Chains A and B, each alone.
Chain A
Amino acid sequence: MLLEISHLTKSFGSFTAVDDLSFSVKEGEVYGFLGQNGAGKSTTIRVILSLIRPTKGSINIFGMSIEKEREKILQQVGAVVEKPDLYRYMTGYENLNVFARLSNKNISKAEVMKCLEMVGLDKRAKDPVRVYSQGMKQRLGIAVALVHNPSLIILDEPTNGLDPQGIADIRNLILMLSKEQKKTVLVSSHLLTEMEQVADSMVIINKGKKLVEGRVNELLNPDKVRLEIITDNNALVKSLLANSGWAKGLRNSPDQKVLVDTTAEAVPLLAKYLVENNIGISSLRSMNSLEAYFLSLTSGNEIE
């Protein structure tokens, strides 16, 4: 394992931001770190990068403890934590050059320019950062993370504040880093559909606790679906299903809708069952995306 987090806890006074969190990232994979805003993702990333000290637990990167071998590890890590803030009074090139020098490697001017080219900022290299758009700053931040050619790249919410084109650019960049350059990428986000498109594995956390970890294709089992049904008599539908073979899949839901966990093949059967019982169906929506999965986990209605 390239990155191993074991029983990590971080408390600020009586507030526990990260609670006994464990997960591991394999070499060469894009690992999605998912959670709603305030779930503890950025705190975890800050602990991984030794920006804040853990209350409990341990973090090993490249087989070394971050607490004991911080500088050695960080030579091989590139990271952007939350929004990348840079020196506004310097140009893009100067910013990147400053951070390249801090990387403890001899990085030539050509390499700095190549890195700017990789994120599409080579033509704006001489412009001061204060005139950069949010997307350009984000890309320059990623260039700062990449400039010393690290093995592990940690990106905290890299698509925050970007327009659809910017989001697509970052997604393509992550895929390129993983597939072409064989980098290991840990990327956090609350934009779950984005993660669905780039991550090989993922962990989902909520209120600092791990909800689930695994391969994305396994977690997104296409056979399992959640049906959101809206009918002319939801109360009757809930009662009908509770007293039938569908009872096992019935989930708690507000009066406005009925939620049923089932398999993809069973959907027509359920629809037929409702029609046969004279239920007027206004809407029947099947959710099987990561987003539905995530929402179901974080709302406490877990898919079985």
Chain B
Amino acid sequence: MRLSSIVYIELYKIFRKPRTYIAFGAIAAIVGLIQLGFYADGESYMKFGMQSLSDSFDVNGNIMNGYLMAFIILQTLLVHVPLLIALVAGDMISGEANQGTLRLLLTKPVSRANLITGKFIASSIYTIVLLLWMAVWALAISILIFGADDMLIMKSDMVTQILASDVMWRYVAAFVFAALAMLAVSALSFFLSIFAENSIGPIMATMSIIIVFTILNTLDLPIFNMVKPYLFTSHMLGWKGFFDVTVNENNEQITGSVENLPAVLLSAGVLFLHIIGFLFASILVFKRKDILS
């Protein structure tokens, strides 16, 4: 059976399930709330944030613009989106096992490897669609509400100014990177769903792994430092790298530059390897699994 047919069927099942739309609703609600909050009270927030800068610089223009809003939203949301992704990816196999439909599926002439790959592609498409949805809300609607201008990003030791004409491609790259990060989460959740017969287990396990790995990342101990580069969670926020701009000897921003592109690409590579690794592990385990549900 053709893989494309399996992907079509799996997508049909995903988007016929009411729980699929929880994530879309949650993202729209959270982003909408943040936008509403900033629309109502953003000026005082920005004034407070810019306090230290205003003493030394004369800052003009629309600082609280759509680009900055999108950055704030992404920073806030990408921490929570894994849960929304695990809701679907963690249910792909375990949900079928729980319903009892897995054994019925496997009485059909579909190879197990194709079924897993098809389901994996379908859950990946869902993840990408969810991120596109997030991009529409976080970026497009923010630009509509707050307008577009140069983007000022305040960090603990510096302020980066990115020209409005140099921002959009960075968001495209950031969303592509974020998609990789979320696909790694999706792949992990998908892999875990093979071992379970209800979706709560893989969802909880995915979140637990992310929390534990994130804690390991924050602990500056030699034993943990050794493993940190190999944990996918260490690379999930790599999208921020696209907003670090290189400056020339006159301290002027170089348009189209990324300060540490090799590090960003390395993070993307690590995430990609995790995705491929989880997919192959899923196929290997599922091919040998006795279907007892």
Q: Within the complex, which residue of A49, A89, A102 is in contact with B16, where a contact is CB–CB below 8 Å?
A: A89
Number of A positions contacting B (CB below 8 A) = 36
Which residue on B lies nearest to A74, using beta carbons? B109
CA distance A141 to B100 in the complex (A): 12
A86 and B111 in contact, given A46-B291, A52-B290 (Cβ under 8 angstroms): no
A-side contacts of B100, CB under 8 Å: 82-85
Stretch at the interface among B5-13, B58-66, B75-83, B268-276: B5-13
A101 adjacent to chain B (CB < 8 Å) = yes
User: Which chain A residues have a beta carbon within 8 Å of chain B's beta carbons?
Assistant: 46, 49-53, 70-75, 77-90, 94, 98-99, 101-104, 141, 144-145
A-side contacts of B103, CB under 8 Å: 46, 51, 81-82
CB-based A-B contact count at 8 angstroms: 86
CA distance A75 to B111 in the complex (A): 12
B13 touches A53 (CB 8 A): no
Which residue on A lies nearest to B105, using beta carbons? A102
Instruction: Identify which of residues 244-293 in chain B touch chain A, using a CB-to-CB cut-off of 8 Å.
Output: 288, 290-292
Instruction: Identify which of residues 29-45 in chain B touch chain A, using a CB-to-CB cut-off of 8 Å.
Output: none
User: Which chain B residues have a beta carbon within 8 Å of chain A's beta carbons?
Assistant: 1, 5-6, 8-9, 12-13, 16-18, 99-101, 103-111, 288, 290-292
Cross-chain pairs A/B with CB under 8 angstroms, 16 sampled? A53-B288, A72-B109, A74-B108, A79-B107, A80-B107, A81-B107, A83-B100, A84-B100, A85-B99, A85-B101, A85-B104, A101-B9, A102-B5, A102-B9, A102-B109, A104-B110
CA distance A84 to B102 in the complex (A): 11
B-side contacts of A83, CB under 8 Å: 100
A49 touches B107 (CB 8 A): yes
A-side contacts of B106, CB under 8 Å: 49-51
Q: How far is the CB of A175 from chain B (nearest CB, A)?
A: 23
B-side contacts of A86, CB under 8 Å: 99, 101, 104
A-side contacts of B5, CB under 8 Å: 101-102
List 15 additional contacts besides A52-B292, A71-B109, A102-B9; criterion CB under 8 Å: A46-B291, A46-B292, A51-B103, A51-B291, A82-B103, A87-B13, A87-B101, A88-B99, A90-B16, A98-B9, A98-B12, A101-B5, A101-B9, A102-B108, A104-B1
Query: Which A-B residue pairs are the 7 nearest by beta carbons?
Result: A85-B100, A52-B290, A74-B109, A102-B108, A51-B291, A79-B107, A71-B109
A103 and B109 in contact, given A89-B16, A98-B12, A98-B13 (Cβ under 8 angstroms): yes
CA distance A77 to B9 in the complex (A): 21
A89 touches B104 (CB 8 A): no
A94 touches B105 (CB 8 A): no
CA distance A73 to B110 in the complex (A): 11
Q: How far is the CB of A221 from chain B (nearest CB, A)?
A: 36
B291 touches A52 (CB 8 A): yes
Which residue on A lies nearest to B98, using beta carbons? A85
CA distance A75 to B108 in the complex (A): 7
Q: How far is the CB of B42 from chain A (nearest CB, A)?
A: 41
A99 touches B99 (CB 8 A): no
B107 touches A71 (CB 8 A): no
Q: How far is the CB of B253 from chain A (nearest CB, A)?
A: 52
